[in-house]
Amino acid sequence: MRRRAFLAAMALLAAAPVRAAARSRFTRGLLWRVAKEGIAPSHVFGTIHVPDPRLSELPGPVREAFDRSGSLMLEFVPDAYAKERFLEAAMFLDRRTLEETIGSEDFERALEQLRPIGLSREFVNKLKPWGVLLNLRGPEGVQGSPLDARLLDEAAARRMPLAQIEGVEEQIFTFDEFPMESQVALLKHSLAVRDELIALAERTLQAYLARDLAAIWRLRERFIGRHPRVAAHQAVMTKRVVLDRSVVMAFRMQRQLRRGAAFVALGALHLYGERGVLALLGQDGYRTRRIY
Question: Residue 71 pairs with which residues in a beta bridge?
Answer: 262
pLDDT of residue 220: 87
Residue 78's pLDDT is 87
**Is residue 140's pLDDT more than 60?**
no
Position 217 confidence tier, pLDDT thresholds 50, 70, 90: confident
Q: Which of 51-60, 114-123, 234-243, 263-272 has the highest mean pLDDT?
A: 263-272
Cβ atoms < 10 Å from Cβ of 37: 7
In whole angstroms, what is the distance from residue 173 CA to residue 283 CA? Answer: 27
Q: 164 forms bridges with which residues in the sheet?
A: 74
Mean pLDDT of 42-56: 94
The type of residue at 138 is G
What Cα–Cα distance (Å) separates residue 17 from each residue in 29, 151, 223, 226, 238? 20, 30, 9, 12, 8
Q: Which domain holds residue 40?
A: 10-290
Instruction: Assess whether pLDDT exceeds 50 at residue 5.
Output: no
Distances (CA, A) of 269 to 4, 107, 211, 220, 261: 25, 30, 11, 11, 23
Residue 174 lies inside a defined structural domain of this protein: yes
| pLDDT (average), residues 38-49 | 96
Q: Considering the domain boundaries, does residue 1 fall inside one?
A: no
Whether 55 is covered by a domain: the verdict is yes
Q: Is the pLDDT of residue 2 over 60?
A: no
In a domain, 3, yes or no: no
Mean pLDDT to the nearest integer, 211-218: 95
In a domain, 191, yes or no: yes
Non-local CB neighbours of 245 within 8 Å, separated by 6+ positions = 166, 174, 270
Coil, strand or helix: which one is 187?
helix
In a domain, 4, yes or no: no
Per-residue pLDDT, averaged over 1-19, amounts to: 40
Q: What is the arithmetic mean of pLDDT over 31-35?
A: 98
Phi, psi (degrees; rounded to nearest 5) at 36: -145, 145
The pLDDT of residue 19 is: 45
How distant, in Å, are the alpha carbons of 266, 278, 289 from that of 146?
A: 12, 22, 25
Residue 243: the pLDDT is 93
What is the CA angle 33-289-271, rounded to 5? 80
Give the C-alpha separation, 122 to 126, whole Å.
7
Whether 5 maps to a domain, the answer reads no
Residue 124 has pLDDT above 80, yes or no: yes
- Does residue 82 lie within any of the structural domains? yes
Tens-digit pLDDT profile for residues 219-241: 988 998 899 999 999 999 889 99
Structural domain tally of the chain?
Answer: 1
Quote the pLDDT of residue 139.
56
pLDDT band at 142 (very low <50, low <70, confident <90, very high): low
pLDDT of residue 193: 96
User: What's the rounded mean pLDDT across residues 102-130?
Assistant: 95
What pLDDT was estimated at residue 15? 37
Helices (H), ranges, 20-167? 60-68, 80-89, 98-102, 104-114, 121-125, 129-133, 147-157
pLDDT above 70: residue 61: yes
